[in-house]
Structure 1
Amino acid sequence: MKLRTTLLAGSILIAAMSSAHAAGPRPLFQFPAECGQIWDASTYSNHWPDPDSIDITVRGNNLANIGAGEPVLASAAGTVTFAGMVGDEYRVYLDHGNGWVTHYIHLETETPLPIVVGRQVAQGEQIGRTGKSGAQAIHQHYTQLRDNDAVRIAFAGALINTHAGNPSSYGTWGTNSAEKIISLNCAGNTFMGWTQTGYQYELLYKPGSGQTKIVRVNAGGAGVTTTWEGSWSTGWTNFMPYHLAANGHPHAIVYKSSTGEVRFLRMNLHGAGVTNLTSGTWYKGWTDFVPLTLDGDKYFIAYDSVHGYANIDRIRASGDGSSNVYRRTWEAGRTALIPYKLGNAQYLLMYKGGTGEVEIDRITGSGTNIAVDEVWSGTWTKGWTNLVPVSHQGQQFLLGYKAASGEAKLIKLKSGGQGVEVTSAMSWTTGWTAFSPMLINGRGHVLLYKLGTGQAKMIRFRDDASGVDVVWQGNWTTGWK
């Protein structure tokens, strides 16, 4: 199926702006869609700028599945060099340095356009939504360019089969021959964990198929035991657990960014599935949900990193809904929001992976009177894809990880929200996609998982937070997020 992508003067101009020198090593590009989703890739003989570009879609554009409105994510860190209309197509171009550029075309159109030239973005940061501007059907037209020339695309370091040198990959749109690609673009991804009756549980979900399960962590973190399996619809993007009171019944909010669909759930006893308390439809486009506790009440922050919109809602005592108590526009582009408590004070650390900017705010108030005030700011290195809050020996830490390089750090959060100190720097393998923190016998533990290979392990902080030790490792099926 040929879908119109017109070469106009605007695109020629932007291509000319790219670096003209010989390109450096290719960045570790990731698929430009949500972690764990499975999409079809196709091309054809007269694809623009050549058949190394691909169209990515979901077969048949079944809108009950994934497709329309799904987040478009940056394949690698870079700078926006173009964001706007070329004819009736909405396009975003990113320059990744060293002669490498990516194009994202046919995105949903917004007025005003939310992404601006010069914005620095992180790998996995949302830059738009899948649409059909200037096209006949919903899809994303995607290209990787080296020194202005389209090249065979690689994701996670592996070349794909749909490319100019493989005519058998032409014209596969909507057929069983289309190449299926699973996204490993998992910046910030964590499993949904909670505690109940003295046990730690994790909800695992495959967004490409809807397969869902709950597992219970074995004693000492030595692996997991499945307590429930089910099948949900595909495309859920956000999972936020919370307890209604100290040691209270665990609940969760699950949300689909593409449609705004939301559900409030109660987690059944002994990990035996979930009970749906209520369903609804919210604004589509929230990228982050994080829980808060203020004066004994339960709240959450919803944040849209593309526009900077931020809401704080108070959750009903019944756990079956919420009401808005705070609405602001914050700085856009924040890629990690980490709530934590020190003593009785509630803090929120916010990190911007595209620039390294970090800010710590203190959140105060109760009921409908909520205040958010900055208490510290600084600049870290760019590119931390995961900042995982971990409690350990009565103190609060972050586990920082860069998926592209394997760099990892243990970072202690200072009192009064006054910044951090690094207690350990480590070098890990690349490609870990999910992190779930837990407290076992007073010591910080983190369950790690690689969506692409199924490798899983449990690590434990050393007493002095000078590093970590592996307490269990195993092999799971691939595709969980």
Structure 2
Amino acid sequence: MRLNGVLAAGFALLIGLAGGAVMAPNAGATTDTAGVTAAVPTPDPANNPADDPAAEPPTIMATNFQLPFPCGQVWTGNSSASSAHQSWEIDFNRGSTADADLGDPVIAAAAGTVAISAHQGSTNGYGNLVKIDHGGGWSTYYAHLNSRAVSAGATVSQGQKIGTVGNTSKPGNNISPHLHYEVRSGSSYPSNIQKAVFNGTTFGYPAQTVTSKNCGGTSNPYTPQEVCGSGYDVIDSAALGTAGTVYLLYNNSNGYNCVTTIKKTSLGAATAVSAYLEVQGKTRVTDSGNFSYYAGPVRAAAADKCVKWGGKAGSSAYDSPFEHCGS
């Protein structure tokens, strides 16, 4: 799904649904009575053109939170592994043994200000806890940390290291290493716990394996194949200066072409970008607007047909002739 940087304020609190594969649970136990404050980062709606009968329905997201682990890492989260869990709290692991994740980096899911960085002692089961206030009533909690890399009052950016995975808790509470993660909105615990959203998609409760897109804004976390979907392969591309690249893909199984423009600069910011696909003899289909990471996917049935394709990012544009006839 594509993240779009423009969203009407009236829809800012809608959260999309996403499914996930159920994975093995991991250990964890916490209790907490602390209040919270946190932030609503810029919301982004997702869009898929109506020309593709298999396209996903539009989804509107409330946050731009990312997985609290480095770019590309794969982690399994579980909300039902601990009897102490309230509502939508998640425990994360990725290793095959109990201690495999000990010391792994934990990073900020979104930018904000560190509200708490302290060991909780006997107060609750969180052990070493970092709480980040994101503004607007939203906050995230990172518990059981082996070490903390930030101090209360510090300003952190999305993707900044804030600590490491651990198994700290209150005295007598023996747990295996994992990250306990929460998203809260408001101050009335536990009713203020919200469903976690990563990269614009709601976590697939009760358990899901997720790949981190928390890439620090230095590289686009999306690939053309990911944007267009399963079965599509890149058959051509054109650079749009330094601002991005427009890609033409084809799916042999259904005879569809797909075009997407992937940004290289201003990642995460809503800037003008477009992608289009024109099958010879049919009306051109275009996706354009102010988008955070890419334009498209634009898909159309094109078996045995010639196509024009192209796109724009920044001040650079590409327009092909009719070509790739039959693919």
TM-score, normalised by the number of residues in structure 1? 0.36
Alpha-carbon distance between aligned partners in 2 of 1:117 and 1:152, rounded to the nearest angstrom: 25
Match for 1:77: what amino acid? A
Q: Does the C-alpha gap of structure 1 residues 80 and 469 become closer, same or farther in structure 2, counting only changes over 3 Å?
A: same
Distance in 2, Cα, partners of 1:428 & 1:100: 25
Where 1:41 maps in the other structure, the secondary structure is strand
Instruction: Name the counterpart of 2:316.
Output: 468
Deviation, 1:105, is 0.6
1:186 corresponds to which residue?
Answer: 215
Q: Which letter does structure 1 place at the counterpart of 2:266?
A: Y
The equivalent of 1:3 in structure 2 is 28
Residues 77-135 of structure 1: per-residue CA shift (max 9 Å, x gap): 111100110127111001111111110011122xxx53111111122222112222225
- Which letter does structure 1 place at the counterpart of 2:135? G
Does 1:69 pair with 2:103? Answer: yes
- Are residues 131 and 427 of structure 1, via their aligned partners in 2, closer, same or farther at CA, if it must alter by over 3 Å? farther
Q: Distance in 2 between the 1:34 and 1:102 partners?
A: 17
Query: What pairs up with 1:386-401 in 2 under 5 angstroms?
Result: 400-401=265-266
Matched pairs, number: 206
Q: Distance in 1 between matches of 2:145 and 2:65?
A: 19
Match of 2:64, as an amino acid? Answer: L
Q: In the alignment, which residue of structure 2 is the partner of 1:53? A: 89
Q: Aligned partners of 2:113, 2:176: CA distance in 1, in Å?
A: 28
Q: Trace 1:280-319 onto structure 2 (pairs within 5 A).
A: none
Equivalent pair of 1:30/1:183 in contact (CA under 8 Å):
yes
> How far apart are the structure 1 equivalents of 2:120 and 2:215?
30
Question: Residue by residue, what CA displacement relative to the aligned partner does 1:1-29 show, whole Å, maximum 9, x if unpaired?
Answer: 5423243xxx52xx1x537x999973211
Equivalent of residue 167 in structure 2, options 106, 114, 132: 132
1:51 is displaced (CA, Å) by 3.4
Aligned to 1:81, the other structure's residue is in SS state strand
Find the counterpart in structure 2 of residue 297 from structure 1.
Answer: none
The Cα of 1:223 is off from its aligned counterpart by: 9.0
Q: Does 1:141 align with 2:166?
A: no
Counterpart in 2 of 1:302?
none
Q: What's 2:113 paired with?
A: 79
Provide the C-alpha distance between the structure 1 equivalents of 2:193 and 2:137, rounded to a whole number of angstroms. 12
| Cα separation, 1, equivalents of 2:311 and 2:40 | 42
Match of residue 277 from structure 1: none
The corresponding residue for 2:203 is 160
- After superposition, the Cα gap between the structure-2 partners of 1:29 and 1:62, relative to the gap in structure 1 and judged at 3 Å, is same
Partner of 1:102 in structure 2?
Answer: 140
Structure holding more strand per residue:
1
CA distance in 2 between counterparts of 1:69 and 1:99 reads 30
Q: Which amino acid aligns with 2:109?
A: S
Is 1:93 the equivalent of 2:131?
A: yes
Q: 1:48 to 1:41 in 2, by over 3 A?
A: same
Cα offset, 1:30, TM superposition: 0.9
Q: 2:149 matched to which residue of 1?
A: 114
Residue 190 (structure 1) shift: 3.9
Once the two structures are superposed, residues 221-251 of structure 1 have per-residue CA deviations (whole angstroms, 9 ceiling, x without a partner) of 9999xxxxxxxxxxxxxxxxxxxxxxxxxxx
Distance of aligned partners of 1:401 and 1:139 in 2 relative to their CA distance in 1, 3 Å threshold: same
Distance change >3 Å, CA 69–CA 427, structure 1 → 2: farther
Asked whether the 8 Å contact 1:34–1:186 carries over to 2, the reply is yes
Structure scoring higher RCO (CA < 8 A, sep ≥ 6) equals 2
Amino acid at match of 2:270: G
Seen in structure 2, the aligned counterparts of structure 1 residues 119 and 407 have a Cα distance that, compared at 3 Å, is: farther
Give the Cα separation in 1 of the matches to 2:82 and 2:96: 22
> Tell me, what secondary structure is at the counterpart of 2:96?
helix
- Name the CA distance, whole Å, in 2 between partners of 1:186 and 1:23: 16
Are the aligned partners of 2:63 and 2:197 in contact in 1 as well (CA < 8 Å)? Answer: no
1:150 aligns with 2:189: no
Q: Which runs of 5+ in 2 are unaligned?
A: 1-25, 44-61, 224-235, 248-262, 274-287, 298-309, 321-327
Paired AA for residue 72 in structure 2: G
Is the 8 Å Cα contact of residues 130 and 141 (structure 2) preserved in structure 1? yes
Residues 106 and 133 of structure 1 are in contact (CA less than 8 Å); yes or no, is this contact kept in structure 2? yes
Seq. identity, %: 25
Given the alignment of the two structures, is residue 33 of structure 1 paired with residue 69 of structure 2, yes or no?
yes
**How many angstroms does 1:35 deviate by?**
1.1
Q: How does 1:356-371 map to 2 (within 5 A)?
A: none
Secondary structure of the corresponding residue to residue 186 of structure 1: coil
Q: C-alpha displacement at 1:68, in angstroms?
A: 2.7
2:97 aligned partner, one-letter code: N
Per-residue deviation at 1:401?
1.4
The root-mean-square deviation of aligned C-alpha atoms, in Å, is: 4.2
- TM-score between the two structures when normalised by the length of structure 2: 0.51
1:347-386 deviation line (CA, Å, top 9, x unaligned): xxxxxxxxxxxxxxxxxxxxxxxxxxxxxxxxxxxxxxxx
> Kindly tell me: are residues 188 and 136 of structure 1, through their superposed partners in 2, closer, same or farther at Cα, counting changes over 3 Å?
same
C-alpha separation in 1, matches of 2:81 and 2:239: 56
